[in-house]
Chain A
Amino acid sequence: MSHALRFAVVALGVASVALAGPRWLRVAQREHYQVDAVSRFALRWWTRVPVNGAGLAVAVVGLMLSARWPAGALATAVVVAAGPVGLSWRGRTSPLAWTRRLRTLALVWAGLEAAAVAGGTVAGEGPVAAAGAALAVPALVDLACALTAPIERLLGAKYVTRATARLRRVAPTVVAITGSFGKTSTKGYVTHLVGAWRSVVASPASFNNRAGLARAVNEHLADGTEVFVAEMGAYDRGEIAQLCSWVRPDVAVITAVGPVHLERFGSEDRVLQAKAEILEGAPCAVLVIDDERLAVLADTCADRGTRVWRVSGLDPSADVAAVEGDGVVAVWVKGELVAPAVPVDARPGNVAAAIAVALELGVPIDAVLARLATLPTTPHRLEQSTGPGGVTVLDDTYNANPAGTRAALAALARRGDGAARRVVVTPGMVELGPRQAEENARFAAAAAAVATDLVVVGRTNRRALVRGARGAAPAGGSLRLVVVRTRHQATEWVRGHLGTGDVVLYENDLPDHYP
């Protein structure tokens, strides 16, 4: 009898593992198979949402009891199979895709789970092992990520080899762009400014790591391409150096350094070190010196013989400067005013960087200036449209850094007349490590100064945002604070409450593997 019970408990434990697996595998996929990501997200999901916290307590107690009473494992199994509430199995924003890499990961993970349950059962502790294996799904997915990482590097090497050969054959001038933010926009500007003069291929939007750049080269870098604009992203030191070992930059650009991906980097110093790797070996560097650290870096580069373009969004005496005023941009080259008022709706520092790259590549200044007024807008980066009902929508949902939020709030403040409602809809920013709560609180406070309504989406940053907004609102102030669970509920609220002339800023959007 007891034997049958134990067997049933183990079977249910295994079933709950099977149900929980896809959920956490999807998180691994969304977080680029970073080794500790799944455990971090598990912690977030189980502790931030009250009902999940209760579930977690039940699951842990069940596990502890299961040593004496096998039925205790049942509680754990049920919780793990059903929870955490809110983390969807398939995903709304980005469904689970059974790629080759994910299948490999799933196989290794399943092997680890099977080994844990089988080992425990052989040792006579089947129920404990089953409950433990169920609770440890996120940790074991992380372990599987760690185990498969070397295999993935090996498999990826094949594509990198092909890409290296193609780069050698096509032999384009390579412009490599990195930065904590602004790199995608700058890439678009460079492509636009140089494109009328030389045949240009840019790496597609999110193809900014080793596998992505290899794919961009293998599938997009056609014969005859003269300029290849490569966006380079990094989550750790050494990654950009690795990229530059085969995508050798002729012109290296750093747009900005800021507190992004701090959870993975640890500190902004390490962000700076990682970004600076792009400059090693590049004969020419373009640096936005509005950040003091990049100004120092520019001097270091110049000292070792690199040709340096110091560009700025503020200082007209920089090599290239684009300085904003009254909604237009004045362009300065080598201290000379070359265009007093270009209508540009873009971050001036990025524009200055793109102009410098174009000039470095031999595009005449007249040709550059002629294209400046038609710079492409980057989708979801302060993109303005008019929604149903005449509401002005500022879509800044791809923005996730403090500097970007300040620019977005400034843009919001400029729009709408005195009577207009100005609404900020946001889930806050993530990946800011130890500074996340503080930065979000500060952002909410700044939003409260500009907006009439603040709609806080989700639970990831709810506490910090609400605290920041409450702290800043004048006593008996007029800020309306709305708290919703999903983006969908937020847009419903906007539809129901706003009308012609009102302005809504959608600041950042989190994929639905965030609580």
Chain B
Amino acid sequence: MNVSTAKVAVAFGGPSPEHDVSILTGLQALRELDGARRDVTGLYWSKTGDWYRVEAALEAADFIDGVPRGAQSLQLVTGGDGAGFVAGAGRLGRTRPLPVDAVVNCCHGGPGEDGTLQAALDLAAIAYTGPSVAAAALGMDKLAFAGVARAAGLPVLPRVLLAPGGDAPALGFAGPYILKPRFGGSSIGVEVVADSDTALGRLDANPHLRAGAVVEPYREDLFDLNVAARSWPRPELSAVERPLRTTSAAEILGYADKYVGGEGMASAPRQLPAQIPPALTAALHDAARTVLRLADVRGVARIDFLSDGESLFVNEVNTVPGSLARYLWVDPPIPFIDLLDAMIGEALSGPAARFSVAGADGTVLRRAGGIAGKLA
């Protein structure tokens, strides 16, 4: 199928703490595709989990109160002949399917980035951009991802699970500590604490940490380095970015730095390309290429590192990054529409996951004989 004639739907919002920033990303993608005269429609996923079809011309302000005026209610049907996005039972109870060749997934930080939405789209046999169920789930689990990276020989900081209840664990490294939700986006709910007792105390207090948290050493000398990566049409890395902190009181790059007061990630303060030694850039690129394979990157991912200027640590992978990391592709410059086209092309080229029944040929059932007989 031709990328420029495909029926594309941009999905954004969702029941996630990053619902609002996802709207910004979604509207950017929607506007870009609409500007290129593509056959595109908006799919707004509300905080309460309902789907709506919305116009491409909407502004962020239209979503402040909730579902924007004029939105058309949809249902996502995952099985049967009528699977897909369906305009609700209207007059005479008739439903009208919304034709969609590919969904551009712009949902951050929650069920759009952890595999939940991907699973529903797989069941509905709808092609989509970005990570598969498995890759999304891995990217969302900071503990599992660090383990995978460590197993592949990549440099990572110690990262330990902190579970509610019980005594403070022996962490094996000195404080202060940085406390992060085990599952979640990259910047919400992160705290710096002095000791492990305080860390344990915060588990109950911080609603973002209650589902589980990881602890790492907090090192003041470390700064962030980010790079975007994609696999389609060929494995490729963007320029390296060094985000700058503006919120004076914050010890780490927080949600406010990234998203508050602008067009989301695309307008956050940064050094691009980062002024770092060539050797560090080379090491970062090597590690990023490994992560590209380990994390099975689809669409565009942003891989975040920490560095003290010499050594390097893999921090995390964002499988549906803010603004789809479009602002990082400066060398060579790749226009946003080309990025989107590549993502859509990748989605159309084949499903993110294939179900298989090979081997389920009845042999086991034949050998099993009668269950009733065996139970008697």
Evaluate contact between B49 and A223: CB separation under 8 angstroms: yes
Report the bound CA distance from A221 to B65 in whole Å.
Answer: 12
Evaluate contact between A196 and B66: CB separation under 8 angstroms: no
Residues A221 and B48 in contact in the complex (CB < 8 Å), given A204-B65, A207-B65, A215-B66: yes
Q: In chain A, residues 209-243, which have Cβ atoms closer than 8 Å to a Cβ of chain B?
A: 215-216, 218-224, 226
Residues of B within 8 A of A197 (CB): 205-207
Q: How large is the interface on B (under 10, 10 to 19, 20 to 34, 35 or more residues)?
A: 10 to 19
Residues of A within 8 A of B15 (CB): 222-224
Residues of A within 8 A of B64 (CB): 204
A357 to chain B, nearest CB (A): 17
- Who on chain A is nearest to B65 by CB? A204
Evaluate contact between A219 and B205: CB separation under 8 angstroms: no
Residues of A within 8 A of B307 (CB): none
Q: In chain B, residues 173-208, which have Cβ atoms closer than 8 Å to a Cβ of chain A?
A: 205-207
B321 to chain A, nearest CB (A): 22
A interface list, Cβ under 8 A from B: 166, 196-199, 204, 207, 215-216, 218-224, 226, 367
Query: Can you sample 21 A-B contacts with CB below 8 Å?
Result: A166-B48, A197-B206, A197-B207, A198-B207, A204-B65, A204-B66, A207-B65, A215-B65, A215-B66, A218-B48, A219-B48, A219-B67, A220-B47, A220-B48, A221-B47, A222-B48, A222-B49, A223-B15, A223-B48, A223-B49, A367-B205
- Who on chain B is nearest to A97 by CB? B69
B58-72 to A contact mask, C-beta < 8 Å, 1/0: 000000111100000
- Who on chain A is nearest to B206 by CB? A196
Residues of B within 8 A of A224 (CB): 15
Q: In chain B, residues 28-51, which have Cβ atoms closer than 8 Å to a Cβ of chain A?
A: 46-50
A170 to chain B, nearest CB (A): 9
B1-44 to A contact mask, C-beta < 8 Å, 1/0: 00000000000000100000000000000000000000000000
B205, B206, B207, most chain A CB atoms within 10 A: B207
Known: A166-B48, A221-B48. 8 other contacts (CB 8 A): A204-B64, A204-B66, A218-B48, A219-B67, A220-B48, A220-B66, A222-B48, A223-B48
B62-105 to A contact mask, C-beta < 8 Å, 1/0: 00111100000000000000000000000000000000000000
Report the bound CA distance from A207 to B206 in whole Å.
Answer: 28
Report the bound CA distance from A116 to B134 in whole Å.
Answer: 69
A188 to chain B, nearest CB (A): 15
A38 to chain B, nearest CB (A): 24
Residues A226 and B207 in contact in the complex (CB < 8 Å), given A215-B66, A220-B66: yes
Report the bound CA distance from A218 to B47 in whole Å.
Answer: 9
Residues of B within 8 A of A166 (CB): 48
Report the bound CA distance from A215 to B64 in whole Å.
Answer: 13
Report the bound CA distance from A198 to B64 in whole Å.
Answer: 22
- Who on chain B is nearest to A226 by CB? B207
A369 to chain B, nearest CB (A): 14
Residues of A within 8 A of B207 (CB): 197-199, 226
B347 to chain A, nearest CB (A): 28
Residues of B within 8 A of A198 (CB): 207
Report the bound CA distance from A276 to B47 in whole Å.
Answer: 32
Report the bound CA distance from A220 to B46 in whole Å.
Answer: 8
- Who on chain B is nearest to A218 by CB? B48
Residues of B within 8 A of A219 (CB): 46-48, 50, 66-67
A88 to chain B, nearest CB (A): 22
- Who on chain B is nearest to A374 by CB? B249
A366 to chain B, nearest CB (A): 10
- Who on chain A is nearest to B207 by CB? A199
Evaluate contact between A222 and B47: CB separation under 8 angstroms: yes
Residues of A within 8 A of B47 (CB): 219-222
Report the bound CA distance from A224 to B49 in whole Å.
Answer: 12
Residues of B within 8 A of A196 (CB): 205-206
- Who on chain B is nearest to A195 by CB? B207
Report the bound CA distance from A223 to B64 in whole Å.
Answer: 19
Residues of B within 8 A of A226 (CB): 207
B249 to chain A, nearest CB (A): 10
- Who on chain A is nearest to B15 by CB? A222
Q: 5 closest Cβ contacts across the A-B interface? A: A219-B66, A199-B207, A222-B47, A222-B15, A219-B67
Residues of B within 8 A of A218 (CB): 48, 50
Report the bound CA distance from A209 to B341 in whole Å.
Answer: 46
Residues of A within 8 A of B65 (CB): 204, 207, 215
- Who on chain A is nearest to B205 by CB? A197
B89 to chain A, nearest CB (A): 14
Report the bound CA distance from A284 to B175 in whole Å.
Answer: 42
B46, B50, B65, B67, most chain A CB atoms within 10 A: B65
A5 to chain B, nearest CB (A): 46
Residues of A within 8 A of B49 (CB): 222-223
Residues of A within 8 A of B46 (CB): 219
Residues of B within 8 A of A207 (CB): 65
Report the bound CA distance from A219 to B63 in whole Å.
Answer: 11
Residues of A within 8 A of B205 (CB): 196-197, 367
Report the bound CA distance from A216 to B65 in whole Å.
Answer: 8
B247 to chain A, nearest CB (A): 13
- Who on chain A is nearest to B204 by CB? A197
B111 to chain A, nearest CB (A): 10
A207, A216, A220, A224, most chain B CB atoms within 10 A: A220
A370 to chain B, nearest CB (A): 11
Residues of B within 8 A of A367 (CB): 205
B46, B47, B49, most chain A CB atoms within 10 A: B47
Report the bound CA distance from A221 to B15 in whole Å.
Answer: 9
Report the bound CA distance from A513 to B52 in whole Å.
Answer: 34
Report the bound CA distance from A8 to B64 in whole Å.
Answer: 49
Report the bound CA distance from A207 to B67 in whole Å.
Answer: 13
- Who on chain B is nearest to A170 by CB? B48
A225 to chain B, nearest CB (A): 9
Report the bound CA distance from A196 to B66 in whole Å.
Answer: 23
A190 to chain B, nearest CB (A): 15
A514 to chain B, nearest CB (A): 24
- Who on chain B is nearest to A201 by CB? B47
Report the bound CA distance from A199 to B206 in whole Å.
Answer: 8
Report the bound CA distance from A384 to B66 in whole Å.
Answer: 28
A162 to chain B, nearest CB (A): 10
Residues of A within 8 A of B206 (CB): 196-197
B69 to chain A, nearest CB (A): 8
- Who on chain B is nearest to A364 by CB? B205
A208 to chain B, nearest CB (A): 13
Report the bound CA distance from A224 to B205 in whole Å.
Answer: 15
